[in-house]
Amino acid sequence: MSNSTTTLPETTPSRRNRLSKGRLPAWAIPAVGAGSLVLGAALSSLVGFSVATFLIFAAIVFVVAATATTVVMEGGRQGRNAFATYLVYGAFLVALVPLVSVIWTVLERGLPGLTSDFLFTSMNGMTGAVDNASVEDGTPVLGGAYHAVVGTLLITLWSTVISVPIGMLTAVYLVEYGKNGPLSRGITFFVDVMTGIPSIVAGLFAAALFGILFGPSTRMGIVAAVALSVLMIPTVVRSTEEMLKIVPNELREAAYALGVRKWRTITKVVIPTAISGIASGVTLAIARVIGETAPILVTAGLADSINWDVFDGWMATLPTFIYYQILTPTSPTNIDPSAQRAWAAALLLIAMVMVLNLGARLIARMFAPKTGR
């Protein structure tokens, strides 16, 4: 009795050619993309090179060239499908234009002014004569945004302290107690209205409120914090509400079956389960208001020196610092030092917002419920 083994026939070169015939090779589209970048740069240089025109030309060339290549190799049907696919890729490149352009411009103009003197000194005592001397002598620009950084952090901190408890408690009522009643529907309506109000309206509201309580022309950091909290509360309510809604009802029912009271179920089961999304939403709400300018102008004013007390005196923030450095340069005859400070402050503000967004992602990952055993 002999043992026989069955062997599969090897694929011959002619067989492979028949299977791959009429199909694009794997390297074709990446090669078209690389060529589109080169041709996009060449076309952009003809009209004056910029990042925006480079990405637009590269996107157009890529869509046309990739579609044409697919039509030639695979036929019209696959070509129409490829056109829709590559149009999405091209739209993605065009969508990157404003983002890349803003980041490139801010980095190019802001990095030279981001010095230790800028970060750790204020504008106290800085006059036009100082800026004129720095331009004439070629010395580094003096004066910085330390007082504005302090004001930004303090005002944002107090606005968070005010808005987060109010927003979270409101969301808990809407999800756990309101049950689509008349009051909950009214709260939802007003939260939606508050989401769309202009920021200057929030600033005018806070200024009018403190004007009634403490007299007209009251300008303090806490007034600005109240104005920003008006803008933060709707975002916190919405994000917290959505996170609480996705908590499975089985977890609540299991706690009730064990005799746990409702308030304790909310604090020990529901909120810990949703804390990842809640923390992420709160962080994004902070990032949304940290760059507001209009409410700060009418509530906290502008200061050239450091003020650590939000309950007394005017305070500066990075947005208002940028605004006044551009609008009213320290030296009207030499505006370059003020422009350098403004661009450096803009870069610093973008970096702070980026850190907050990265922090939101990190917090969401740290507090996410563990699904493994």
The mean per-residue pLDDT over the stretch 198-218 comes to 87
C-alpha 289/C-alpha 282 separation (Å) is 11
Per-residue pLDDT, 1: 46
Taking the model in full, what pTM does it have? 0.77
Contact 283, 275 (CB under 8 A): no
Q: How many Cβ atoms sit within 10 Å of the Cβ of residue 263?
A: 10
Q: Rounded to 5 degrees, what angle do the CA atoms 76, 81, 85 make?
A: 140
C-alpha 126/C-alpha 28 separation (Å) is 60
pLDDT in tens, 158-195: 999 999 999 999 999 998 888 778 888 888 888 888 88
C-alpha 188/C-alpha 182 separation (Å) is 10
| Residues comprising the chain, all counted | 373
pLDDT in tens, 332-349: 888 888 888 999 999 999
Contact 54, 40 (CB under 8 A): yes
Contact 315, 220 (CB under 8 A): yes
